[in-house]
Amino acid sequence: MSTTRIALVTGANRGIGAAIAAGLAAQGMTVVAGSRGGGPGTLRLDVTDDDSVRDAVAEVAGRYGRLDVLVNNAGISGGIDGQVSGEIDPEVMRTVFETNLFGVVRVTEAFLPLLRKGDGGRIINVSSGTASLTWQSDPGHAFASGRLPLAYPASKAALNMVTVMYAKTLASEGITVNAVAPGACGTDFATDLGLSLERTAEQGAAIVLHLATVAESPTGTFVQDDGPVPW
């Protein structure tokens, strides 16, 4: 078996996912860059589509026979329309959860057999600081004001619970599972929401690269650059 670590990043065609893929490749990993659009150097992978995920698993199994690192990065904000309390459009909420929560579970379940064939598998879920119940319920926190989306942070809070549950279940198999908050980065994700942010996708990717490569990975944690994020 090749000693080069095999990593799959979902939503790796742009933004933080592209920076994660480039960073892992620069660390010497063989990176499979998932992209729902497909294209040169990428593997077609739509996290909301069972057939697409099944085909991606078959492709990785055929190429490498195993997976060592799974980065569940693909995510959507869902925009602001239909997402504010009192104005909720259930379809918007379902769409956000389909990608940010069910997409992660679908991909994780499908790739688990390949992760079990790897050595010390690592699953890293790209969550968000907005998922923190502690921060969201703190009236002094920056999240306390403004026109606030509901579905997006709820989907990421649910993702955090999914992270903890997988971490507990997979601990005995030596597979670690962690959630990260990349920080507010000036990707399309932010500009689509009308935000102008200076933090780069590469800065957002750094915590993922750390967890993917650190000698001893923790498990069941929610972290950002400077340490734990309060649940």
Ligand X SMILES: NC(=O)c1ccc[n+]([C@@H]2O[C@H](COP(=O)([O-])OP(=O)(O)OC[C@H]3O[C@@H](n4cnc5c(N)ncnc54)[C@H](OP(=O)(O)O)[C@@H]3O)[C@@H](O)[C@H]2O)c1
Q: Does residue 64 have an active-site annotation? A: no
Give the residue, chosen from 9, 74, 206, 207, that forms a contact with ligand X under the rule CB under 6 A. 74
Give whichever of 216 and 226 is closer to ligand X, judged by the CB atom. Answer: 226
Instruction: Give me the sheet containing 69-72, strands edge to edge.
Output: 43-44, 30-35, 6-9, 69-72, 122-126, 176-180, 222-224, 227-228
Contact 186, 198 (CB under 8 A): yes
* Closest distance of CB 99 from ligand X, Å: 5
How remote is the C-alpha of 157 from its chain's centroid? 13
Query: Which one of residues 21, 46, 115, 176 is an interface residue with ligand X (CB under 6 A)?
Result: 46
The correct pick among 7, 17, 42, 82 for binding ligand X (CB under 6 A) is 17
Which three-class secondary structure state does DSSP give residue 188? helix
16 interacts with ligand X by CB under 6 A: yes
Report CA torsion sign: 222, 169, 74, 22. Answer: positive
Residue 17: CB atoms within 10 A of its CB come to: 27
Residue tagged active-site, from 64, 156, 166, 168: 156
Kind plus residue range of the DSSP H or E element containing 227? strand 227-228
Half-sphere exposure of 179 toward its Cβ, with a 13 Å CA cutoff? 30
Q: Is 153 in the site for ligand X (CB under 6 A)?
A: no
C-beta separation of 182 from 8 below 8 A: no
Among residue numbers 159 through 218, which ones bind ligand X (CB under 6 A)?
Answer: 182, 184-185, 187-190, 201
Strand ranges for 67-108 from DSSP E: 69-72
Q: Is 73 in the site for ligand X (CB under 6 A)?
A: yes
Chosen residue from 42, 95, 108, 128 binding ligand X by CB under 6 A: 128
Number of residues that bind ligand X (CB under 6 A): 29
If the CB atoms of residues 73 and 160 are measured against ligand X, the closer one turns out to be 73
- The residues of the shown chain that bind ligand X, judged by CB under 6 A, are 10-11, 13-17, 36-37, 45-48, 73-76, 99, 103, 126, 128, 182, 184-185, 187-190, 201
Could you list the active site residues?
152, 156
